[in-house]
Structure 1
Amino acid sequence: MDAPPDRLSALLERFRVQAALFHSGPLCGRHEFAPQPGRAFLHILRKGEMEVRHAEAGLPSRLRIDQPSLLLYPQPLQHTFLNAPLDGPDFTCATLDFDGGARNPVVQSLPPVMVVPLADIGELDGTLQLLFGEADRQRCGSRLLTNRLFEVALIQVLRWVVDHPDAAGVSHGLMRGLSDARLARTLVALHQAPQEEWTLPRMAAIAGLLRSAFAAVFKEVMQTTPASYLLDWRLSLACAQLRAGAPVKQVAVEVGFADTASLSKAFRKRMGVSPRAWLAQAAPL
Protein backbone atom coordinates (compact mmCIF):
# COMPACT_ATOMS: atom_id res chain seq x y z
CA MET A 1 0.00 0.00 0.00
CA ASP A 2 1.28 3.46 -0.92
CA ALA A 3 2.11 5.80 1.94
CA PRO A 4 -0.45 8.60 2.39
CA PRO A 5 0.60 11.92 0.86
CA ASP A 6 1.92 14.80 2.96
CA ARG A 7 -1.23 16.89 2.94
CA LEU A 8 0.14 20.08 4.50
CA SER A 9 3.77 20.69 3.50
CA ALA A 10 3.22 21.92 -0.07
CA LEU A 11 0.42 24.16 1.15
CA LEU A 12 2.35 25.69 4.05
CA GLU A 13 5.59 26.04 2.09
CA ARG A 14 3.82 28.26 -0.42
CA PHE A 15 1.73 30.14 2.17
CA ARG A 16 3.80 30.63 5.28
CA VAL A 17 2.65 32.00 8.61
CA GLN A 18 4.52 34.22 11.06
CA ALA A 19 3.65 34.24 14.76
CA ALA A 20 4.36 37.02 17.23
CA LEU A 21 3.97 36.57 20.99
CA PHE A 22 2.14 39.51 22.60
CA HIS A 23 1.10 38.24 26.03
CA SER A 24 2.06 35.59 28.57
CA GLY A 25 0.70 35.46 32.10
CA PRO A 26 -2.52 36.33 33.96
CA LEU A 27 -5.15 38.32 32.08
CA CYS A 28 -7.60 40.07 34.38
CA GLY A 29 -10.85 41.88 33.65
CA ARG A 30 -12.25 42.70 30.22
CA HIS A 31 -10.09 42.58 27.09
CA GLU A 32 -11.30 43.30 23.55
CA PHE A 33 -9.44 42.09 20.48
CA ALA A 34 -10.32 44.16 17.43
CA PRO A 35 -10.33 42.55 13.96
CA GLN A 36 -7.21 43.29 11.94
CA PRO A 37 -7.15 42.54 8.18
CA GLY A 38 -4.83 39.67 7.38
CA ARG A 39 -4.13 38.91 11.03
CA ALA A 40 -5.23 35.95 13.12
CA PHE A 41 -5.12 35.34 16.87
CA LEU A 42 -4.05 32.23 18.73
CA HIS A 43 -4.80 32.25 22.46
CA ILE A 44 -3.85 29.41 24.78
CA LEU A 45 -5.69 29.27 28.10
CA ARG A 46 -3.23 27.53 30.38
CA LYS A 47 -5.30 27.52 33.57
CA GLY A 48 -8.37 29.17 35.05
CA GLU A 49 -11.84 29.96 33.72
CA MET A 50 -13.07 32.61 31.32
CA GLU A 51 -15.95 33.81 29.19
CA VAL A 52 -15.67 34.75 25.51
CA ARG A 53 -18.17 37.01 23.79
CA HIS A 54 -18.83 37.51 20.08
CA ALA A 55 -21.02 40.16 18.50
CA GLU A 56 -21.07 38.70 14.98
CA ALA A 57 -24.23 36.93 13.84
CA GLY A 58 -23.95 33.19 13.41
CA LEU A 59 -21.44 32.73 16.23
CA PRO A 60 -22.18 31.83 19.84
CA SER A 61 -22.62 35.11 21.70
CA ARG A 62 -21.08 33.65 24.86
CA LEU A 63 -18.72 30.76 25.49
CA ARG A 64 -17.71 29.59 28.95
CA ILE A 65 -14.34 27.84 29.04
CA ASP A 66 -13.27 26.06 32.21
CA GLN A 67 -10.33 23.89 31.12
CA PRO A 68 -6.98 24.48 29.37
CA SER A 69 -7.92 25.22 25.78
CA LEU A 70 -6.71 26.62 22.50
CA LEU A 71 -8.68 29.46 20.88
CA LEU A 72 -7.89 30.10 17.23
CA TYR A 73 -9.35 33.04 15.29
CA PRO A 74 -8.01 32.54 11.74
CA GLN A 75 -10.10 35.38 10.27
CA PRO A 76 -10.52 39.00 11.40
CA LEU A 77 -13.17 38.77 14.09
CA GLN A 78 -13.77 40.89 17.15
CA HIS A 79 -13.80 38.89 20.36
CA THR A 80 -13.94 39.87 24.01
CA PHE A 81 -12.50 38.04 26.99
CA LEU A 82 -14.21 38.45 30.36
CA ASN A 83 -11.97 37.31 33.18
CA ALA A 84 -11.92 37.63 36.93
CA PRO A 85 -10.90 41.18 38.01
CA LEU A 86 -8.16 39.71 40.22
CA ASP A 87 -6.20 36.49 39.88
CA GLY A 88 -7.41 36.11 36.30
CA PRO A 89 -6.75 33.06 34.13
CA ASP A 90 -3.31 32.40 32.71
CA PHE A 91 -2.82 32.93 28.96
CA THR A 92 -0.10 32.78 26.36
CA CYS A 93 -1.18 34.59 23.17
CA ALA A 94 0.20 35.37 19.72
CA THR A 95 -0.87 37.06 16.53
CA LEU A 96 -0.55 35.10 13.28
CA ASP A 97 0.17 36.76 9.94
CA PHE A 98 -0.69 34.43 7.05
CA ASP A 99 0.86 34.95 3.62
CA GLY A 100 -1.86 36.07 1.26
CA GLY A 101 -4.09 37.47 3.99
CA ALA A 102 -7.76 36.81 3.24
CA ARG A 103 -6.83 34.80 0.12
CA ASN A 104 -4.76 32.34 2.11
CA PRO A 105 -6.37 28.95 1.39
CA VAL A 106 -5.90 27.76 4.97
CA VAL A 107 -7.61 30.85 6.37
CA GLN A 108 -10.48 30.47 3.94
CA SER A 109 -11.07 26.83 4.88
CA LEU A 110 -11.19 27.14 8.69
CA PRO A 111 -14.20 28.16 10.79
CA PRO A 112 -14.14 31.75 12.11
CA VAL A 113 -13.37 30.50 15.62
CA MET A 114 -12.05 27.21 16.98
CA VAL A 115 -12.08 26.34 20.69
CA VAL A 116 -10.33 23.04 21.40
CA PRO A 117 -9.41 21.56 24.80
CA LEU A 118 -5.66 21.02 24.91
CA ALA A 119 -6.32 17.45 26.10
CA ASP A 120 -7.82 16.69 22.67
CA ILE A 121 -4.54 17.40 20.84
CA GLY A 122 -2.06 15.19 22.62
CA GLU A 123 0.87 15.88 20.31
CA LEU A 124 0.84 19.53 21.42
CA ASP A 125 2.08 18.60 24.90
CA GLY A 126 5.79 18.68 24.16
CA THR A 127 5.60 21.80 22.02
CA LEU A 128 3.56 23.71 24.60
CA GLN A 129 5.89 22.69 27.40
CA LEU A 130 8.79 24.27 25.48
CA LEU A 131 6.68 27.27 24.42
CA PHE A 132 5.50 28.09 27.93
CA GLY A 133 9.01 27.64 29.30
CA GLU A 134 10.41 30.17 26.85
CA ALA A 135 7.47 32.59 27.17
CA ASP A 136 7.82 32.66 30.96
CA ARG A 137 11.54 33.42 31.00
CA GLN A 138 13.52 36.39 29.73
CA ARG A 139 16.51 34.72 28.10
CA CYS A 140 18.51 35.49 25.00
CA GLY A 141 16.42 34.56 21.98
CA SER A 142 13.35 33.62 24.01
CA ARG A 143 10.92 35.79 22.03
CA LEU A 144 12.19 34.50 18.70
CA LEU A 145 12.08 30.91 19.89
CA THR A 146 8.58 31.38 21.33
CA ASN A 147 7.36 32.75 17.99
CA ARG A 148 8.77 29.73 16.15
CA LEU A 149 7.18 27.35 18.67
CA PHE A 150 3.81 29.03 18.11
CA GLU A 151 4.23 28.29 14.40
CA VAL A 152 5.06 24.66 15.19
CA ALA A 153 1.98 24.47 17.41
CA LEU A 154 -0.19 25.85 14.61
CA ILE A 155 1.06 23.18 12.19
CA GLN A 156 0.22 20.52 14.77
CA VAL A 157 -3.25 22.03 15.18
CA LEU A 158 -3.79 22.00 11.40
CA ARG A 159 -2.64 18.38 11.30
CA TRP A 160 -5.23 17.60 13.99
CA VAL A 161 -7.91 19.45 11.97
CA VAL A 162 -7.17 17.34 8.90
CA ASP A 163 -7.37 14.17 10.98
CA HIS A 164 -10.47 15.27 12.97
CA PRO A 165 -12.51 17.62 10.75
CA ASP A 166 -15.79 16.97 12.56
CA ALA A 167 -14.34 17.79 15.98
CA ALA A 168 -12.77 20.93 14.48
CA GLY A 169 -16.08 22.07 13.02
CA VAL A 170 -14.88 21.78 9.41
CA SER A 171 -17.76 20.61 7.24
CA HIS A 172 -16.46 21.48 3.77
CA GLY A 173 -13.66 23.24 1.94
CA LEU A 174 -9.93 22.61 1.62
CA MET A 175 -9.24 21.20 5.08
CA ARG A 176 -12.19 18.82 4.70
CA GLY A 177 -10.92 17.82 1.27
CA LEU A 178 -7.48 17.07 2.70
CA SER A 179 -9.14 14.78 5.25
CA ASP A 180 -10.64 12.70 2.41
CA ALA A 181 -8.05 10.12 1.31
CA ARG A 182 -9.21 10.22 -2.31
CA LEU A 183 -9.39 13.99 -2.73
CA ALA A 184 -6.21 14.53 -0.72
CA ARG A 185 -4.10 12.79 -3.36
CA THR A 186 -5.39 15.10 -6.07
CA LEU A 187 -5.23 18.25 -3.95
CA VAL A 188 -1.63 17.57 -2.96
CA ALA A 189 -0.71 17.03 -6.61
CA LEU A 190 -2.33 20.36 -7.57
CA HIS A 191 -0.57 22.14 -4.73
CA GLN A 192 2.81 20.70 -5.66
CA ALA A 193 2.64 21.33 -9.40
CA PRO A 194 0.07 24.03 -10.29
CA GLN A 195 1.90 24.81 -13.53
CA GLU A 196 1.13 21.42 -15.07
CA GLU A 197 -1.82 20.74 -17.35
CA TRP A 198 -4.64 19.48 -15.15
CA THR A 199 -7.57 17.91 -16.93
CA LEU A 200 -10.55 16.42 -15.13
CA PRO A 201 -9.64 12.85 -16.22
CA ARG A 202 -6.11 13.30 -14.85
CA MET A 203 -7.36 14.61 -11.52
CA ALA A 204 -9.88 11.76 -11.27
CA ALA A 205 -7.21 9.16 -12.06
CA ILE A 206 -4.98 10.39 -9.23
CA ALA A 207 -7.97 10.14 -6.87
CA GLY A 208 -8.68 6.61 -8.12
CA LEU A 209 -12.22 7.54 -9.17
CA LEU A 210 -14.22 7.67 -12.37
CA ARG A 211 -14.46 11.18 -13.78
CA SER A 212 -18.14 11.66 -12.92
CA ALA A 213 -17.73 10.26 -9.41
CA PHE A 214 -14.69 12.44 -8.78
CA ALA A 215 -16.47 15.59 -9.96
CA ALA A 216 -19.46 14.83 -7.72
CA VAL A 217 -17.38 14.07 -4.61
CA PHE A 218 -15.18 17.12 -5.18
CA LYS A 219 -18.17 19.43 -5.51
CA GLU A 220 -19.85 17.98 -2.41
CA VAL A 221 -16.77 18.25 -0.19
CA MET A 222 -15.06 21.35 -1.56
CA GLN A 223 -18.23 23.30 -2.47
CA THR A 224 -16.68 24.19 -5.82
CA THR A 225 -15.66 22.44 -9.04
CA PRO A 226 -12.16 21.03 -9.65
CA ALA A 227 -11.52 23.60 -12.40
CA SER A 228 -12.66 26.49 -10.22
CA TYR A 229 -10.53 25.33 -7.30
CA LEU A 230 -7.48 25.00 -9.55
CA LEU A 231 -8.04 28.52 -10.88
CA ASP A 232 -8.38 29.95 -7.38
CA TRP A 233 -5.24 28.12 -6.25
CA ARG A 234 -3.26 29.51 -9.18
CA LEU A 235 -4.57 33.02 -8.55
CA SER A 236 -3.72 32.80 -4.86
CA LEU A 237 -0.18 31.81 -5.80
CA ALA A 238 -0.06 34.61 -8.36
CA CYS A 239 -1.13 37.19 -5.78
CA ALA A 240 1.55 36.04 -3.35
CA GLN A 241 4.28 36.14 -6.00
CA LEU A 242 3.21 39.52 -7.36
CA ARG A 243 3.29 41.03 -3.89
CA ALA A 244 6.76 39.55 -3.43
CA GLY A 245 7.93 41.51 -6.50
CA ALA A 246 7.93 38.86 -9.25
CA PRO A 247 7.17 40.17 -12.76
CA VAL A 248 3.74 39.36 -14.21
CA LYS A 249 5.15 37.39 -17.16
CA GLN A 250 7.18 35.13 -14.88
CA VAL A 251 4.28 34.62 -12.49
CA ALA A 252 1.91 33.63 -15.28
CA VAL A 253 4.15 30.77 -16.43
CA GLU A 254 5.11 29.55 -12.96
CA VAL A 255 1.54 29.20 -11.68
CA GLY A 256 0.14 27.53 -14.80
CA PHE A 257 -1.21 30.15 -17.19
CA ALA A 258 -0.34 30.00 -20.87
CA ASP A 259 0.79 33.61 -20.97
CA THR A 260 0.35 37.04 -19.43
CA ALA A 261 -2.90 37.60 -21.29
CA SER A 262 -4.43 34.43 -19.80
CA LEU A 263 -3.43 35.49 -16.30
CA SER A 264 -4.85 38.98 -16.84
CA LYS A 265 -8.14 37.56 -18.11
CA ALA A 266 -8.48 35.29 -15.07
CA PHE A 267 -7.54 38.16 -12.77
CA ARG A 268 -10.20 40.43 -14.21
CA LYS A 269 -12.80 37.69 -13.95
CA ARG A 270 -12.05 36.95 -10.27
CA MET A 271 -10.70 40.28 -9.00
CA GLY A 272 -12.34 42.77 -11.32
CA VAL A 273 -9.01 44.37 -12.25
CA SER A 274 -5.76 43.53 -14.04
CA PRO A 275 -2.79 42.07 -12.11
CA ARG A 276 -0.95 45.40 -12.20
CA ALA A 277 -4.02 47.34 -11.08
CA TRP A 278 -4.60 44.84 -8.27
CA LEU A 279 -0.97 45.12 -7.17
CA ALA A 280 -1.22 48.91 -7.10
CA GLN A 281 -4.27 48.65 -4.83
CA ALA A 282 -2.88 45.93 -2.57
CA ALA A 283 -1.50 46.86 0.81
CA PRO A 284 2.30 46.66 1.05
CA LEU A 285 3.85 43.56 2.60
Structure 2
Amino acid sequence: MVDPLAEVVSLLQPFAGFSKVVSGAGRWGVRRSEAGRPFYCVVLEGSCRLAVNGQEPLTLVQHDFVLIPAAYDFTMSSLEPATEKDFDIPPVMLRQGEFRTGVQNGAADVRALVGYCVFGSPDAALLVSLLPQIVHVRGERRLATIVQLVGEESRENRPARDVVLARLLEVLMIEALRSSAGTGASAGLLRGLADERLGVAIRRMHESPTRQWTVAELASEAALSRSAFFERFSRAVGTAPMEYLLAWRMALAKNMLRRNEGGVAEVAQRVGYNSASAFSVAFARHVELPPTHYVREQMANGGA
Protein backbone atom coordinates (compact mmCIF):
# COMPACT_ATOMS: atom_id res chain seq x y z
CA MET A 1 0.00 0.00 0.00
CA VAL A 2 1.29 3.46 -0.94
CA ASP A 3 2.04 5.72 2.05
CA PRO A 4 1.43 9.36 0.98
CA LEU A 5 3.19 10.81 4.05
CA ALA A 6 6.28 8.67 3.47
CA GLU A 7 6.34 9.76 -0.18
CA VAL A 8 6.18 13.47 0.71
CA VAL A 9 8.83 13.19 3.45
CA SER A 10 11.09 11.20 1.15
CA LEU A 11 10.90 13.87 -1.55
CA LEU A 12 11.49 16.64 1.02
CA GLN A 13 14.88 15.17 2.05
CA PRO A 14 14.77 16.65 5.58
CA PHE A 15 17.84 17.14 7.76
CA ALA A 16 18.75 19.34 10.71
CA GLY A 17 20.51 22.53 9.76
CA PHE A 18 21.01 24.48 12.98
CA SER A 19 20.07 24.14 16.63
CA LYS A 20 20.79 25.74 19.99
CA VAL A 21 19.62 25.40 23.58
CA VAL A 22 17.74 28.42 24.91
CA SER A 23 16.55 28.98 28.45
CA GLY A 24 14.24 31.67 29.79
CA ALA A 25 13.53 33.10 33.22
CA GLY A 26 11.23 35.82 34.46
CA ARG A 27 9.44 37.82 31.79
CA TRP A 28 10.82 37.49 28.25
CA GLY A 29 9.85 37.35 24.60
CA VAL A 30 11.44 36.45 21.26
CA ARG A 31 9.95 37.40 17.89
CA ARG A 32 10.93 35.78 14.59
CA SER A 33 9.88 36.45 11.01
CA GLU A 34 11.79 34.10 8.71
CA ALA A 35 9.39 32.70 6.14
CA GLY A 36 10.54 29.61 4.31
CA ARG A 37 12.79 28.24 7.07
CA PRO A 38 11.30 25.21 8.84
CA PHE A 39 11.41 25.92 12.59
CA TYR A 40 11.31 23.31 15.35
CA CYS A 41 11.24 23.43 19.13
CA VAL A 42 11.67 20.69 21.73
CA VAL A 43 10.78 21.71 25.29
CA LEU A 44 13.35 20.02 27.53
CA GLU A 45 12.18 21.51 30.84
CA GLY A 46 9.47 23.89 32.07
CA SER A 47 6.91 25.68 29.91
CA CYS A 48 6.45 28.69 27.65
CA ARG A 49 4.03 30.26 25.18
CA LEU A 50 4.17 29.99 21.39
CA ALA A 51 2.09 32.23 19.13
CA VAL A 52 2.16 31.57 15.37
CA ASN A 53 0.65 34.13 13.05
CA GLY A 54 -2.85 32.99 12.10
CA GLN A 55 -3.02 30.22 14.74
CA GLU A 56 -4.32 30.00 18.30
CA PRO A 57 -1.50 30.53 20.87
CA LEU A 58 -0.11 27.34 22.44
CA THR A 59 1.22 26.67 25.92
CA LEU A 60 4.18 24.33 25.48
CA VAL A 61 5.25 22.01 28.31
CA GLN A 62 8.06 19.53 28.91
CA HIS A 63 8.52 16.98 26.07
CA ASP A 64 6.32 18.95 23.66
CA PHE A 65 7.53 19.09 20.09
CA VAL A 66 6.56 21.76 17.57
CA LEU A 67 7.40 21.91 13.87
CA ILE A 68 6.48 24.86 11.67
CA PRO A 69 7.31 23.60 8.13
CA ALA A 70 7.45 27.04 6.53
CA ALA A 71 8.29 29.20 9.60
CA TYR A 72 5.51 31.75 9.50
CA ASP A 73 5.84 34.79 11.76
CA PHE A 74 5.85 33.61 15.37
CA THR A 75 6.74 34.60 18.92
CA MET A 76 7.92 32.61 21.94
CA SER A 77 7.50 34.11 25.38
CA SER A 78 7.14 33.51 29.10
CA LEU A 79 3.80 32.43 30.50
CA GLU A 80 3.79 35.77 32.30
CA PRO A 81 2.65 38.24 29.58
CA ALA A 82 5.66 39.94 27.97
CA THR A 83 5.76 43.62 27.02
CA GLU A 84 7.03 45.05 23.74
CA LYS A 85 10.21 46.06 25.58
CA ASP A 86 10.82 42.43 26.58
CA PHE A 87 10.81 41.41 22.90
CA ASP A 88 13.57 43.94 22.13
CA ILE A 89 16.13 42.35 24.49
CA PRO A 90 18.31 39.79 22.64
CA PRO A 91 19.30 36.46 24.28
CA VAL A 92 22.75 36.30 25.93
CA MET A 93 25.09 33.33 25.52
CA LEU A 94 26.09 31.69 28.81
CA ARG A 95 29.40 29.95 29.45
CA GLN A 96 28.16 26.47 28.61
CA GLY A 97 26.99 27.62 25.15
CA GLU A 98 23.36 27.96 26.19
CA PHE A 99 21.46 31.14 25.35
CA ARG A 100 19.48 32.86 28.11
CA THR A 101 16.63 35.31 27.63
CA GLY A 102 14.90 37.29 30.36
CA VAL A 103 16.46 37.22 33.85
CA GLN A 104 20.11 36.18 33.42
CA ASN A 105 20.73 34.72 36.87
CA GLY A 106 19.12 31.88 38.80
CA ALA A 107 17.10 28.86 37.71
CA ALA A 108 15.37 28.85 34.34
CA ASP A 109 11.59 28.61 33.98
CA VAL A 110 11.96 26.91 30.61
CA ARG A 111 14.71 25.22 28.65
CA ALA A 112 14.26 24.29 25.01
CA LEU A 113 16.16 23.07 22.01
CA VAL A 114 15.25 25.29 19.06
CA GLY A 115 16.51 25.44 15.53
CA TYR A 116 15.85 25.28 11.83
CA CYS A 117 15.53 22.25 9.58
CA VAL A 118 16.65 22.18 5.99
CA PHE A 119 14.70 20.48 3.23
CA GLY A 120 17.14 19.26 0.61
CA SER A 121 14.56 19.15 -2.17
CA PRO A 122 14.46 22.15 -4.52
CA ASP A 123 10.71 21.54 -4.58
CA ALA A 124 10.35 22.07 -0.82
CA ALA A 125 7.88 24.95 -1.13
CA LEU A 126 5.56 22.83 -3.26
CA LEU A 127 5.77 19.85 -0.90
CA VAL A 128 5.47 21.93 2.28
CA SER A 129 2.17 23.27 0.93
CA LEU A 130 0.81 19.73 1.45
CA LEU A 131 1.71 19.75 5.16
CA PRO A 132 -0.03 21.50 8.08
CA GLN A 133 1.07 25.06 8.95
CA ILE A 134 2.03 23.85 12.42
CA VAL A 135 2.65 20.41 13.94
CA HIS A 136 2.29 20.14 17.73
CA VAL A 137 2.78 16.76 19.39
CA ARG A 138 2.23 15.96 23.06
CA GLY A 139 1.91 12.76 25.06
CA GLU A 140 3.42 10.36 22.52
CA ARG A 141 5.67 7.85 24.31
CA ARG A 142 7.78 7.04 21.24
CA LEU A 143 8.29 10.73 20.58
CA ALA A 144 9.10 11.38 24.24
CA THR A 145 11.90 8.79 24.05
CA ILE A 146 13.44 10.53 21.03
CA VAL A 147 13.05 13.91 22.75
CA GLN A 148 14.90 12.56 25.79
CA LEU A 149 17.77 11.41 23.57
CA VAL A 150 17.86 14.83 21.89
CA GLY A 151 17.99 16.54 25.30
CA GLU A 152 20.79 14.30 26.57
CA GLU A 153 22.84 14.77 23.40
CA SER A 154 22.34 18.54 23.48
CA ARG A 155 23.73 18.75 27.04
CA GLU A 156 26.85 16.66 26.42
CA ASN A 157 29.97 17.57 24.48
CA ARG A 158 30.52 14.08 23.06
CA PRO A 159 32.46 13.23 19.88
CA ALA A 160 30.35 13.67 16.71
CA ARG A 161 27.68 15.44 18.79
CA ASP A 162 26.43 17.53 15.87
CA VAL A 163 26.15 14.51 13.56
CA VAL A 164 24.23 12.47 16.12
CA LEU A 165 21.99 15.42 16.96
CA ALA A 166 21.23 15.98 13.28
CA ARG A 167 20.22 12.33 12.79
CA LEU A 168 18.06 12.34 15.92
CA LEU A 169 16.28 15.47 14.74
CA GLU A 170 15.55 13.89 11.37
CA VAL A 171 13.88 10.95 13.11
CA LEU A 172 12.13 13.31 15.52
CA MET A 173 10.63 15.37 12.71
CA ILE A 174 9.38 12.33 10.79
CA GLU A 175 7.93 10.77 13.94
CA ALA A 176 6.25 14.09 14.81
CA LEU A 177 4.58 14.28 11.40
CA ARG A 178 3.39 10.72 11.79
CA SER A 179 2.22 11.22 15.38
CA SER A 180 0.26 14.38 14.63
CA ALA A 181 -1.88 12.82 11.90
CA GLY A 182 -5.10 13.49 13.78
CA THR A 183 -8.20 15.60 13.36
CA GLY A 184 -6.65 18.17 15.73
CA ALA A 185 -3.91 18.96 13.19
CA SER A 186 -4.18 22.11 11.13
CA ALA A 187 -5.33 21.73 7.54
CA GLY A 188 -2.97 19.64 5.43
CA LEU A 189 -2.10 16.14 4.29
CA LEU A 190 -1.88 14.77 7.85
CA ARG A 191 -5.40 15.85 8.72
CA GLY A 192 -6.73 14.44 5.46
CA LEU A 193 -5.09 11.06 6.10
CA ALA A 194 -6.57 11.00 9.61
CA ASP A 195 -10.06 11.11 8.11
CA GLU A 196 -10.88 7.49 7.30
CA ARG A 197 -12.88 8.30 4.17
CA LEU A 198 -10.64 11.06 2.84
CA GLY A 199 -7.60 8.89 3.53
CA VAL A 200 -8.87 6.29 1.05
CA ALA A 201 -9.20 8.90 -1.70
CA ILE A 202 -5.75 10.41 -0.99
CA ARG A 203 -4.10 6.99 -1.11
CA ARG A 204 -5.86 6.21 -4.39
CA MET A 205 -4.48 9.45 -5.89
CA HIS A 206 -0.96 8.49 -4.81
CA GLU A 207 -1.35 4.89 -5.98
CA SER A 208 -2.61 5.93 -9.43
CA PRO A 209 -1.49 9.47 -10.29
CA THR A 210 -1.85 8.69 -14.01
CA ARG A 211 -5.56 7.95 -13.78
CA GLN A 212 -7.86 10.66 -15.11
CA TRP A 213 -9.54 11.25 -11.78
CA THR A 214 -12.70 13.31 -11.39
CA VAL A 215 -14.12 14.67 -8.15
CA ALA A 216 -17.07 12.29 -8.58
CA GLU A 217 -14.76 9.25 -8.85
CA LEU A 218 -12.75 10.29 -5.80
CA ALA A 219 -15.97 10.93 -3.89
CA SER A 220 -17.06 7.39 -4.79
CA GLU A 221 -13.76 6.01 -3.43
CA ALA A 222 -14.46 7.88 -0.19
CA ALA A 223 -18.09 6.70 -0.10
CA LEU A 224 -19.34 10.29 0.00
CA SER A 225 -21.50 12.43 -2.23
CA ARG A 226 -19.61 14.70 -4.62
CA SER A 227 -20.49 17.90 -2.74
CA ALA A 228 -19.83 16.40 0.72
CA PHE A 229 -16.47 15.03 -0.42
CA PHE A 230 -15.38 18.32 -2.02
CA GLU A 231 -16.27 20.35 1.08
CA ARG A 232 -14.79 17.83 3.55
CA PHE A 233 -11.56 17.45 1.55
CA SER A 234 -11.08 21.19 1.09
CA ARG A 235 -11.64 21.86 4.79
CA ALA A 236 -9.32 19.08 6.01
CA VAL A 237 -6.49 19.33 3.48
CA GLY A 238 -6.68 23.07 2.89
CA THR A 239 -6.98 22.74 -0.89
CA ALA A 240 -9.51 21.35 -3.35
CA PRO A 241 -9.12 17.69 -4.45
CA MET A 242 -8.03 18.49 -8.02
CA GLU A 243 -5.58 21.14 -6.79
CA TYR A 244 -4.03 18.60 -4.43
CA LEU A 245 -3.74 16.05 -7.25
CA LEU A 246 -2.13 18.67 -9.51
CA ALA A 247 0.39 19.64 -6.81
CA TRP A 248 1.33 15.99 -6.29
CA ARG A 249 1.68 15.33 -10.03
CA MET A 250 3.91 18.39 -10.40
CA ALA A 251 6.08 17.27 -7.45
CA LEU A 252 6.52 13.86 -9.08
CA ALA A 253 7.23 15.42 -12.46
CA LYS A 254 9.86 17.81 -11.13
CA ASN A 255 11.58 14.95 -9.32
CA MET A 256 11.62 12.81 -12.48
CA LEU A 257 12.90 15.66 -14.66
CA ARG A 258 15.56 16.61 -12.14
CA ARG A 259 16.79 13.02 -11.94
CA ASN A 260 16.68 12.63 -15.74
CA GLU A 261 14.20 9.74 -15.51
CA GLY A 262 12.81 10.35 -18.98
CA GLY A 263 12.03 13.02 -21.55
CA VAL A 264 9.12 15.44 -21.33
CA ALA A 265 6.75 13.12 -23.21
CA GLU A 266 7.55 10.14 -20.97
CA VAL A 267 7.27 12.16 -17.76
CA ALA A 268 3.96 13.60 -19.00
CA GLN A 269 2.56 10.09 -19.43
CA ARG A 270 3.87 8.94 -16.04
CA VAL A 271 2.03 11.73 -14.22
CA GLY A 272 -1.28 11.42 -16.02
CA TYR A 273 -1.15 13.61 -19.14
CA ASN A 274 -2.13 12.30 -22.56
CA SER A 275 0.16 14.65 -24.43
CA ALA A 276 3.48 16.41 -23.86
CA SER A 277 1.92 19.73 -24.88
CA ALA A 278 -0.87 19.53 -22.27
CA PHE A 279 1.68 18.59 -19.63
CA SER A 280 4.00 21.44 -20.65
CA VAL A 281 1.19 23.98 -20.34
CA ALA A 282 0.19 22.70 -16.89
CA PHE A 283 3.81 22.50 -15.73
CA ALA A 284 4.63 26.03 -16.92
CA ARG A 285 1.53 27.41 -15.21
CA HIS A 286 2.32 25.66 -11.92
CA VAL A 287 6.12 25.96 -11.84
CA GLU A 288 6.43 29.19 -13.87
CA LEU A 289 8.95 27.50 -16.17
CA PRO A 290 8.42 25.19 -19.17
CA PRO A 291 9.72 21.63 -18.49
CA THR A 292 12.67 22.01 -20.89
CA HIS A 293 13.76 25.27 -19.21
CA TYR A 294 13.37 23.65 -15.80
CA VAL A 295 15.66 20.77 -16.84
CA ARG A 296 18.29 23.17 -18.18
CA GLU A 297 18.15 25.22 -14.98
CA GLN A 298 18.60 22.10 -12.85
CA MET A 299 21.54 20.95 -14.96
CA ALA A 300 23.14 24.38 -14.61
CA ASN A 301 22.73 24.15 -10.83
CA GLY A 302 24.28 20.70 -10.64
CA GLY A 303 21.10 18.59 -10.72
CA ALA A 304 19.66 16.80 -7.66
Q: 2:166 maps to what in 1?
A: 147
Is 1:160 the counterpart of 2:179? The answer is: yes
Please show how residues 238-253 of structure 1 align to structure 2 within 5 Å: 238-244=253-259, 249=264, 250-253=266-269
Deviation at 1:262, TM superposition (A): 2.0
Q: 1:122 maps to what in 2?
A: 141
Which of the residues 71, 74, 83 maps onto 2:69? Answer: 74
Identify if the C-alpha distance between structure 1 residues 191 and 144 changes in structure 2 by more than 3 Å, giving closer, same or farther.
farther
Are the aligned partners of 1:72 and 1:115 in contact in 2 as well (CA < 8 Å)?
A: yes
TM-score by length of 1: 0.75
Coordinate RMSD, CA, aligned: 3.6
Q: 2:103 maps to what in 1?
A: 85
Structure 1 CA distance for aligned equivalents of residues 157 and 118 of structure 2: 24
Is 1:45 the counterpart of 2:40? The answer is: no
1:135 is matched by which residue type in structure 2? S
Are the aligned partners of 2:43 and 2:61 in contact in 1 as well (CA < 8 Å)?
A: no
Are the aligned partners of 1:22 and 1:94 in contact in 2 as well (CA < 8 Å)?
A: yes
Please show how residues 178-197 of structure 1 align to structure 2 within 5 Å: 178-197=193-212
Secondary structure at the aligned position of 2:38 is classed as strand
Deviation at 1:49, TM superposition (A): 4.1
CA offsets, 1:163-186, max 9 Å, x none?
3x22x3x2x442221111111122
Structure 1 CA distance for aligned equivalents of residues 198 and 281 of structure 2: 28
TM-score by length of 2: 0.71
Identity %: 26
Are the aligned partners of 1:40 and 1:96 in contact in 2 as well (CA < 8 Å)?
A: yes
Deviation at 1:278, TM superposition (A): 5.3
Q: 1:133 maps to what in 2?
A: 152
Are the aligned partners of 2:32 and 2:75 in contact in 1 as well (CA < 8 Å)?
A: yes
Name structure 2 gaps, 5 residues minimum: 78-100
Are the aligned partners of 1:44 and 1:91 in contact in 2 as well (CA < 8 Å)?
A: yes
Q: How many residues align?
A: 270
Q: 1:103 maps to what in 2?
A: 126
Which of the residues 9, 13, 25 maps onto 2:10? Answer: 13
Deviation at 1:279, TM superposition (A): 6.3
Identify if the C-alpha distance between structure 1 residues 36 and 222 changes in structure 2 by more than 3 Å, giving closer, same or farther.
closer
Say which is worse superposed, 182-191 or 22-31, in terms of deviation: 22-31
| Higher relative contact order, structure no. (Cα contacts within 8 Å, ≥ 6 residues apart) | 2
Structure 2 CA distance for aligned equivalents of residues 259 and 14 of structure 1: 25
Q: 1:94 maps to what in 2?
A: 115
Q: 2:248 maps to what in 1?
A: 233
Deviation at 1:232, TM superposition (A): 1.9
Name structure 1 gaps, 5 residues minimum: none
